[in-house]
Structure 1
Amino acid sequence: MVRLMLNPAEEVIQRLVDSGLDEKEANIAVSMAGRSPMKASQIGKLVGVSRMDAYNTLKRLQEKGMIKSTVDKPMRFAGLTIAEIFHQLINREEAELRRLRNHLEELESGPAEAFISIPPEVKEATFTVIKDSNHIQAAMERMVDDSEDEIIMMLGRWGILHLVRSGCIDALNNAAVRGVKVRVIAVLEEKNSKFFDKLDDSIEVRHCNDSNAGISIFDDDAAIQLISIEENPVGRGKNDSALVVESQGYNKAQRELVDALWADAIDINSARSKILQGNLIEPLKVVLGEGSFYQRLKDGIQKLSSVPNAVLRNKGEIIGINPQNMTLDLMGISFDDLMRNIGNRIGEEIATSASVIDDSENFNDELQKIWNKLGMGELILEGNPPNSITVIDSKACQNGAEMGKLFCHLDEGILEGIMKERHGYSSISVKRNCPVDGSVSCQFEIQLLKE
């Protein structure tokens, strides 16, 4: 259960409201806990309502067995402990559940058995709107139980919490155990991470920041689309609403959207590593050129064969054409781009690991320490966000680095990755000026570009 930043009384009131009492009833029940018997007028002043309003609320609580009254006149009221109130609510719900089960069992075993099982003859697309979080979760649990092939859920930030609180997560795990393919897309955060551990190991979970649509698809036959959800993740959700749709056309369109998000989402273990520990562990995808590599090979051999023999001699012997000795540059694969991409990933990890630091100056100080600890020189940052970064005693620039030196491009990519991750700009321009006088300082001009 997620704990909100409330004082104890407010938290108990909220939980009682979530358990079925209205706000006035919960307020009075909590205010009277641990107090001596009081008159209705005194209770009204205590909670800020009129004497008549307090009396009517006390009467309702008394009918529910949550308030006692004195025999002597004038009548005074005494409350139960909070624990006793919750036990009373639990006993009432269990009695109601037993009553419903008895009705169903009697109908199924009596002459009405055939009548209650007749399915409706509906061949066209249908929909229904469901209100209240409890009803929505109950409908979702029923659809999970009926699923035979596949279930896909987009849970957003707190959808996993609703599954845990309602018990629907047990139905989901049971479906996975009996062979139903279950996939979940959610927004992983530090506060909700632990709830995903309650899912069965066979359920595949991915993280995607854009998975707020709140839709669940069952066997491509039916879908539940959340319309409005209470912002408070532990609220009762009385005003929550959802659309239940049984339409092949609608479900196909939603399935295409979900599949597109699934392809871009990342495995939950990789997401946890990044969000909770600041490490990026998903594979780094690099594009190694484009076009026909066979044509490049032929063109490269032709160019190589035109080089003067004087260049292709080894101890006086002419060296033959050997494709194995050809460089990757000849194939259109740039080591510079490769090192820059790797640098981008490293930069993202550095920025993520220091993301808890809000103050820009403190972040820059931490960045300088990390850079120096890695043995990459001393950083001097100018501007906020930085528009100029000087690297003093850069190991990449030893002996006067040229523009194409691999580790210069690595440093450049690291700085680019840090700036992108830290400042949220999707386009960054990094221009490096390396000295030609033999010194070992490089200056990087950073330009943050808004799209």
Structure 2
Amino acid sequence: MKIQFVQGEVAPAAYTEDFYGGIDIYIYEGVGREVPGLERRAADLLELYGLSEREALVLLHIVKRGSSSAGEIAKALQLRRVEAYKLVKKLAEDNLIHASAGKPVTYSSQPLESFITTITGAQMQKLKGMEMAKEELITLSRNLPRSHSKASNQQFRMIQGREQIYGHLGRMVRGAAKSVDLILTRSDLALSHVVGLTDSLNQAADRGTKVRLISRVDESTMEAAEGLSNRCELRHSNVTTLGRLSVADTSQTLISLVLDKSLGKRNAKDVAIWSDSGDFAGMMGSLFDTAYRASVPRQGKLRVVGAPEETAE
């Protein structure tokens, strides 16, 4: 005797059936009793027509018995009564079985031949419709407007030369609506009024854009620092000589290395990378926030730098 377990629990055999010279017994999914081989094969075939395994077994039971109540089905298939009621309700909604009033309510089925013919006809009609729509659908798909993901539209651009970098910084500041975060070298701050960056920052602050700036505030940059509006939040840091960083509206970023520390705006060695990647801007914005918290407010720094020297009596 051959026994096959099919996602179920072993239960006492209800009955067995001679199948191709042997006894095949199946322990079927969710069903407490053993399922004979022929019934198992019929259930497998019914799954091709859209029934679940347990629905197929319930339908086969009703076909064999002619009619049966939910309680009888539960007992015969060793199902929980609640599960049996759910299964017959689903089969009835699909018009595969019909309920007859009485105590208890019994269920009967149309011949399987009628069921198979109806389902096969519906599927063939559906397949015919799919074949008819095939060419039109292919044509429509080729003519659909193509949209690209946000990530594929993100740009990274290299900018060569200090004057070009200053020009791009100015455009970022003038175009910012919500916020501008800047880290400038000491030379950048000293030249800011010459290259027009001071005016751009003051105008941005006047129109309500939040402007935060970190640079080195000392004797060489004090005049430029005092030229910035009080609405511009300037802070002092000693760690601003290696490069520049600008984040505008958390959507654009410019990061630059200073390869030549000489003064002057006409320097071809400086290189910057600009991007409109939101993810990159967010990462650089976090870096700026860390540096901003570690810096010193400009008010106190300017007082220290501008304090008159005491004269000895």
The TM-score with structure 1 as length reference comes to 0.34
Structure having greater relative contact order (Cα 8 Å, sep ≥ 6): 2
Larger Rg: 2
**TM-score, normalization: structure 2?**
0.48
